[in-house]
Amino acid sequence: MSKNDDTAVIRTDTERIEFLEKLNQAGTYTGKCILRMSNTGRGWRLHEHSEGGFSTVREAIDAYMDEHEYKDLISIDEELPNEPCANTKQG
């Protein structure tokens, strides 16, 4: 489907998250995911992780939002941390 396609499917945010949840549930790598800033400064990452992580995409997003004060990130005037959130579940 191209950006110029007038028949493009309109998806909801719920459908998008559910799609990511299905990818995570497939457990291609570990089935545990995290949301974090890149260690090399190239943006944020939502991905499966080998050490710890969360069973659901929603948990990973919520944990990052809780730890990094979502309301303060809306206007990004400060550098975001590169490490995953401290409350990342292990195992």
Give the model's pLDDT for residue 8.
87
- Using a pLDDT cut of 70, give the percent of the chain over it: 69
Give the model's pLDDT for residue 7.
79
Give the model's pLDDT for residue 35.
94
More confident residue, 6 or 58: 58
CB count within 10 Å of CB 13 equals 7
pLDDT tens, residue by residue, 78-90: 555 555 565 555 4
H/E element holding 11?
Answer: none
C-alpha angle 23-53-19 in degrees, rounded to nearest 5: 20
Give the sign of the dihedral formed by CA 80, CA 82, CA 84, CA 87. negative
Segment 32-53 shows an average pLDDT of: 91
Q: Taking each helix axis as running N to C, give the angle between helix 13-25 and helix 57-67, from 0 to 180 degrees, rounded to the nearest 10.
A: 110
More confident residue, 73 or 32: 32
Single pTM value for the model: 0.68
